[in-house]
Amino acid sequence: MSDAIADVLKWLDSRKDIQSLRAAVCDLNGIMRGKRIPVEQARKALEGKLRMPYSAIGLDIWGEDIEGNAQVFSTGDADGLCHWTGRGILPVNWTAHPTALLPVWLADDSGAPYLGDPRRALARILDRYAALGLTPVTATELEFYLVDPTSQRPVGPVSPVTGRRLDSDAALSIDEVDDFEAFIHDIYEACRMQDIPVDTAIAENGVGQFEINLNHVPDALRAADDAVLFKRTVKGIARKHGFAACFMAKPYGERAGNGFHVHFSVLDRQGRNIFDDGSDQGSDTMRHAVGGLLAAMAQSTLVFAPHFNSYRRLRPRSYAPTAVAWGYENRMVAIRIPGGPSAARRIEHRVSGADANPYLVLAAILGAALIGIERQLSPGEPTGGEGQGLALAKLPPDWASAIAAFETGPRVAEIFPDVLRDAFVACKRQELNTFALNVSDFEIETYLESV
């Protein structure tokens, strides 16, 4: 690590235009929280001497402390140590002055990992794979909308080429990609600077909706880093171009939601894909992994759909699943086995919305798959289409049900440490209660004088 620190300091010394850094940790909601520090404090941060409250991990979506949070009241809101993750120093060029992000994760004063940190939860799952000589290879697909930042409600952006506001779907439209080429180019350039492996970009099904895929990497922790950094980058570049980038699961009630699809396979010590047996169906091990994913899916839905708005996306005939099901080349179910060469046999997990925390999503997916592999769980028969008429188990239909399922789920307890599980439940319950206290304009219009 000392050589890596020296490299970072050398790079900073060459960038006289950078006068401040952002040292940040990712909280349970996937929001980066941290400090602006002078560039002169870079060595202190890189050597793990910067401190931050443990409670910063568990703030609610509005940045409020969680009522009764043990990390606040029983410990006096104690600080933990910020350890550099080792992920470079990431230049940021969309702020008023050039800066750079220093990603950190939390440890206690002894140097032991703080298990309430979402990144630590994923690392713990990957340690279990490594102990078996296995390496997950992971790729992510993130969808987002560009919207007009001056509007109170989401509306399509104005095309920088035609000057007209987007008002219709344009799935796979090359013209729409071309019209927003300057924005997309800057995303790719910023990702190149941060070593985020961006792949293809397409116009998606919604007004001003895009999807940009990230390449497979044989390091799921890095894949989650990439997804977190990608979301932050897209938001920053969008503002630079006069747009806002929206990763809400369902910003428009009548249009497509934003998904966060995860593709993964698993390599053994010899680098062989254990999901490949030379057939189109994939190996028994692959089906066992699917069995684990299905067994844990309802209990872990809160991870994939963590917000009030998330449950607007999980609707029938919306390309977002509502049932615990799997199938081959079937985008209507939660777990899809894509076609193609057997050597590339993999699983696509389609439940999560783009509003979810990538560290928690990958921990939930890879943790459940490992349970299935270790216990040789059967996934049952694959499903064709949406599975209409089949007696399929369902995902929790609403936020409150998902919170309860996560809190009591035995599979979830095997995947996530107690301190993180308890904090996540407390966070989500506080957010749910806050939403319950706010009466919408539509409710007032509907009920004020009619009941």
Query: Quick one: 207 and 295 in the same domain?
Result: yes
Closest CA to 352 of 217, 236, 245, 262: 262
In 300-442, the DSSP E strands lie at 326-328, 335-337, 347-349
- Domain with 303, as residue range(s), is 126-416
Query: Quick one: 376 and 308 in the same domain?
Result: yes
421 lies in some domain: no
423 lies in some domain: no
Q: How many Å apart are CA 118 and CA 122, to the nearest integer?
A: 7
**Predicted local confidence at residue 389, as pLDDT:** 57
Q: How many Å apart are CA 78 and CA 74, to the nearest integer?
A: 9
Query: Quick one: 178 and 312 in the same domain?
Result: yes
Query: Quick one: 102 and 34 in the same domain?
Result: yes
Region 185-212 average pLDDT:
91
376 φ, ψ (degrees, to nearest 5): 50, 55
439 lies in some domain: no
Query: Quick one: 266 and 332 in the same domain?
Result: yes
For the cut 80, the answer to whether the pLDDT of residue 71 exceeds it is no
pLDDT band at 174 (very low <50, low <70, confident <90, very high): confident
**Predicted local confidence at residue 124, as pLDDT:** 97
Query: Quick one: 217 and 275 in the same domain?
Result: yes
- The DSSP-derived string for 184-251 is HHHHHHHHHHTT--EEEEEE-SSTTEEEEEEEEES-HHHHHHHHHHHHHHHHHHHHHTT-EEE--S-S
**Predicted local confidence at residue 270, as pLDDT:** 97
**Predicted local confidence at residue 165, as pLDDT:** 87
pLDDT band at 151 (very low <50, low <70, confident <90, very high): confident
Query: Quick one: 193 and 97 in the same domain?
Result: no
> In sequence order, which residues have a C-beta less than 8 Å from that of residue 119 and are 6 or more positions away?
25, 26, 85, 105, 221, 224, 225, 359
Asked which of 50-54, 157-161, 232-236, 406-410 is least confident by mean pLDDT, the reply is 157-161
**Predicted local confidence at residue 318, as pLDDT:** 74
Q: Are 405 and 302 in contact (CB under 8 A)?
A: yes
**Predicted local confidence at residue 88, as pLDDT:** 83
Strands 335-337 and 326-328: parallel
pLDDT band at 316 (very low <50, low <70, confident <90, very high): confident
Query: Quick one: 210 and 319 in the same domain?
Result: yes
> In sequence order, which residues have a C-beta less than 8 Å from that of residue 48 and are 6 or more positions away?
81, 82, 83, 84, 107, 111
Output the domain CATH number for residue 319. Answer: 3.30.590.10
- Of 52, 80, 114, which closes a domain? 114
Instruction: Please calculate the CA angle 292-294-296 and round it to the nearest 5 degrees.
Output: 70
Mean pLDDT taken over the chain = 93
Counting the structural domains of the chain, the total is: 2
444 lies in some domain: no
Closest CA to 406 of 388, 418, 391: 418
Query: Quick one: 45 and 192 in the same domain?
Result: no
97 pairs with which residues across the strands? none
**Predicted local confidence at residue 1, as pLDDT:** 61
58 in helix, strand or coil? helix
Region 376-386 average pLDDT:
89
pLDDT in tens, 264-284: 999 999 999 999 999 999 999
Closest CA to 92 of 38, 143, 20: 20
For the cut 90, the answer to whether the pLDDT of residue 51 exceeds it is yes
**Predicted local confidence at residue 186, as pLDDT:** 94
Query: Quick one: 35 and 163 in the same domain?
Result: no
Asked which of 15-24, 162-171, 180-189, 228-237 is least confident by mean pLDDT, the reply is 162-171
- As a whole number of Å, the end-to-end CA separation of the chain is 67
441 lies in some domain: no
pLDDT band at 387 (very low <50, low <70, confident <90, very high): low
pLDDT band at 205 (very low <50, low <70, confident <90, very high): confident
Q: Are 360 and 31 in contact (CB under 8 A)?
A: no
- The DSSP-derived string for 414-438 is HHS-HHHHHHHHHHHHHHHHHHHT-
447 lies in some domain: no
- The DSSP-derived string for 262-283 is EEEEEE-TTS-BTT-SSSSS--
Query: Quick one: 52 and 136 in the same domain?
Result: no
119 lies in some domain: no
- Of 114, 146, 174, which closes a domain? 114
197 φ, ψ (degrees, to nearest 5): -80, 75
Query: Quick one: 39 and 155 in the same domain?
Result: no
Output the domain CATH number for residue 108. Answer: 3.10.20.70
448 lies in some domain: no
**Predicted local confidence at residue 436, as pLDDT:** 95
pLDDT band at 106 (very low <50, low <70, confident <90, very high): very high
Q: How many Å apart are CA 253 and CA 95, to the nearest integer?
A: 32
Q: Are 276 and 283 in contact (CB under 8 A)?
A: yes
